[in-house]
Structure 1
Amino acid sequence: MDAGLHYMTFTHPEWETNLTDRLTDTAKVADEGGFRLFTVMDHYYQMIPVGGPFEPMLEGYTTLGYLAGVTSNLELGLLVTGVTYRHPGLLAKIATTIDVLSRGRAWLGIGAAWYDREHEGLGVPFPATSERFERLEETLRIVNQMWSDDDGAFTGEHYRLQETINLPQPPRGRLPIMIGGGGERKTLRLVAQYADATHLFTREGLDGVAHKLDVLREHCDRLGRDYDAIEKTIGGGGGVDPVADPDAFLAEMEQYAKLGVTLVTSSPPKNGDPAAWAERFAESVLPRLREI
């Protein structure tokens, strides 16, 4: 199983002066230590459970552009892009730019968005849930068209593009698309139809994740999609800090691996040293995780 490092909080000691240095050091440790994926959040404000709007939060794609320049091996992405934050044509251009500058290491992680306060706070429209999912599906269609030979128009219910020109194209032809969330009727159907990876949460528990994957398989069967072609990823570590209790973490990951999960993302704790945490993970956890 591979490891991803999800840099969920910038609130580490002396962040007012050391935020950039800590982020850089952590990314370099992960890059050299064998992590596969490095992700940051796509939020304007920090989430309430992690401290709320008055804690630091960097803009996601600007951060990925910086990380592309200080790393060489890590795959990079947002966990996950909120579909409401950027026009889809611009989003495809931004994500492609990250992929080009990182020499083919970017993912497009995407979801329907949910954090109403940050939208209202900064004046960004926040449609109803049903419309956000409609916009998500149109966005998935648009980015795939922009990563194809078709540079013609796109006409949808919410978006209309006269031309879908996108040069340069991604080095790999397109970016892997990861859709975050486990909604059974809409989200997992979109995974089956458009995505290369699904991202589920260990807070659902082993049985919950197994159920979500069964639902995904059913969507794949209906759509004629190869279920095995979709990468299964999880985040959260079930609330177990892998560095503090590697045995418990690894025992849990063995169970998820039996479900077909191939990547788990974990986050350095708030108010600690994220680079030191990443170094301990790389030394004491990652070699054993890779054997699973």
Structure 2
Amino acid sequence: MKLGLSLADYAWEGGAARTADTLVGLARTADEAGYHVIGAADHLWQGPHMGGPEQPMLECFTTLATIAAHTRNIRLMPLVAGVHFRAPGLLAKSVTTLDVLSGGRADLGIGAGWDADEARGLGIPFPPLAERYERLEETVRICRALWEGERGEEKPFEGTHHRLERTLNVPQNLGRPQIMIGGGGERRTLRLVARHADACNLYPGPELPGKLDVLRGHCEAEGRDYDTIEKTCIMPFVVADRAAADELTGALTGLAALGISRVIGILAGPDQHRTVELVATHVLPAVAEA
């Protein structure tokens, strides 16, 4: 099993004046410890689960670029990019730029988006959910066209919501970014995973085995090999001592038994650096072979 981290809570000691130092310290520790990926939440306001919009929030791609400049091995991912924030061509170019500048370490986590208050508050269009799902599928297709096309094969893209005259992307990625579609919606999201994604992103819990069964069914319907999709879960990592580390190890071992091959831990609270270190010391080695 691989472990990753998700930055979501930026209410760090020292406030804005210390934010860059704290970010770089967390990223370097994670990189040196062997975590697989570090993600940044793609929001402009903080969500209600982290205290609401009056709490600090950093823009996703600027944050990932800063991390890229101070790390060498860990992969980088928006977790997850809201489809309503950027035109698909801009999103694909942002990921390509991150990939080139990081030496080929960028992936794309993407979803339909959810915070209507954030969008309305900042004047960002927020279409109805059904339309956002349509835009999500078109965006993934456009990203693939831009990342996988050969020079001279700049075929136009004509969709319901997006039209590209040239699928041109220069420079090209150093390695094709992996696409992870976030969410566990059984009718639409998991069908899109089966159709287009390299990875899913689900929450642990009693419903997880059923979600995986639904994904398997969608794969059969789409003619997709279920085993080619990386099964990823996201969950909070709050580890203050060895006992909590052992408890987390047990939970991760159970997820591995279900076929989960990567878990991304959401960092929150005042002791995020300690959590990163304790998980690296006591949990990562224990689950590496799971």
2:99 matched to which residue of 1? 99
Deviations 1:131-162 (A, max 9, x none): 00000011011111111223121111101111
Instruction: Give how far 1:243 is off.
Output: 4.6
Pairing of 1:143-222 with structure 2 (within 5 A):
143-147=143-147, 148-149=149-150, 150-172=153-175, 174-202=176-204, 205=205, 207-222=206-221
**SS in structure 1 of the partner of residue 224 of structure 2:** coil
| The one of 241, 248, 258 aligned to 2:238 | 241
CA distance in 2, matches of 1:275, 1:247: 18
Partner of 1:223: 222
- Per-residue deviation, 1:241: 3.0
User: How big is the shift at 1:242?
Assistant: 4.1
Number of aligned residues: 285
Q: What corresponds to 1:113 in structure 2?
A: 113
Q: What RMSD over aligned residues (CA atoms) do the two structures have, in Å?
A: 1.2
Say which SS state the counterpart of residue 5 (structure 1) adopts. Answer: strand
Deviation, 1:249, is: 1.3
Q: How far, CA to CA, are the matches of 1:241 and 1:286 in structure 2?
A: 14
Partner of 1:65: 65
The one-letter code of the counterpart of 1:145 is A
Q: How does 1:68-83 map to 2 (within 5 A)?
A: 68-83=68-83
Quote the offset at 1:275 in angstroms.
2.3
TM (norm. structure 1) is 0.95
Displacement after TM superposition at 1:5 (Å): 1.0
Which structure 2 residues correspond to residues 265-276 of structure 1 after superposition, within 5 A? 265-270=264-269, 272-276=270-274
Matched, 1:4 2:4: yes
Q: TM-score, normalised by structure 2?
A: 0.95
CA distance in 2, matches of 1:276, 1:243: 7
Aligned partners of 1:241 and 1:249 also within 8 Å: no
Contact 1:242–1:285 (8 Å) recurs in 2: no
Q: CA shift at 1:290, angstroms?
A: 1.1
State whether residues 84 and 126 of structure 1, in contact with CA within 8 Å, keep that contact through their aligned partners in structure 2. Answer: yes
Q: Distance in 2 between matches of 1:227 and 1:163?
A: 33
Q: Secondary structure at the match of 1:105?
A: coil
Cα distance between partner residues in 2 of 1:196 and 1:103: 20
CA distance in 2, matches of 1:194, 1:137: 8
Is the Cα–Cα contact under 8 Å of residues 240 and 274 in structure 2 kept in the other structure? no
How many Å separate the matches in 1 of 2:225 and 2:90? 30
> Which ranges of structure 2 fall in alignment gaps of 5 or more residues?
none
Per the alignment, residue 257 of structure 1 pairs with: 256
3-state DSSP of counterpart to 1:178: strand
Distance 1:163 1:48 in 2: 40
Report the alpha carbon displacement of residue 277 of structure 1 after superposing the two structures with TM. Answer: 2.4
1:218 is paired with a residue whose SS is: helix
* Equivalent-residue separation in structure 1 for 2:185 and 2:248 (angstroms): 26
Instruction: Determine the C-alpha separation between the residues in 2 that align with 1:243 and 1:151.
Output: 52
SS in 2 for 1:163: coil
5+ long unaligned stretches in structure 1: none
Structure 1 residue matching 2:261: 3-state secondary structure? strand
In the other structure, the counterpart of 1:86 is 86
* C-alpha distance after superposition, 1:71-114 (max 9, x if no partner): 00100001100000000011111111101111111110000000
* Aligned equivalents of 1:121, 1:132: Cα separation in 2: 18
Secondary structure of the residue aligned to 1:235 is strand
Q: Check whether the contact 1:13–1:273 (CA below 8 A) recurs between aligned residues.
A: no
> What CA distance in whole angstroms lies between the structure 2 residues aligned with 1:45 and 1:281?
28
Aligned to 1:32: 32
Give how far 1:129 is off.
Answer: 0.4
Counterpart Cα distance in 2 of 1:18 and 1:277: 19
Task: Report the Cα distance in structure 2 between the residues aligned to 1:18 and 1:273, rounded to whole angstroms.
Answer: 15
Going from structure 1 to structure 2, the CA distance change for 1:249 and 1:273 (only over 3 Å counts) comes to closer
| Secondary structure of the structure 2 residue equivalent to 1:234 | strand
1:197-227 Cα shifts (integer Å, max 9, x gaps): 000012xx1x311111100000000111010
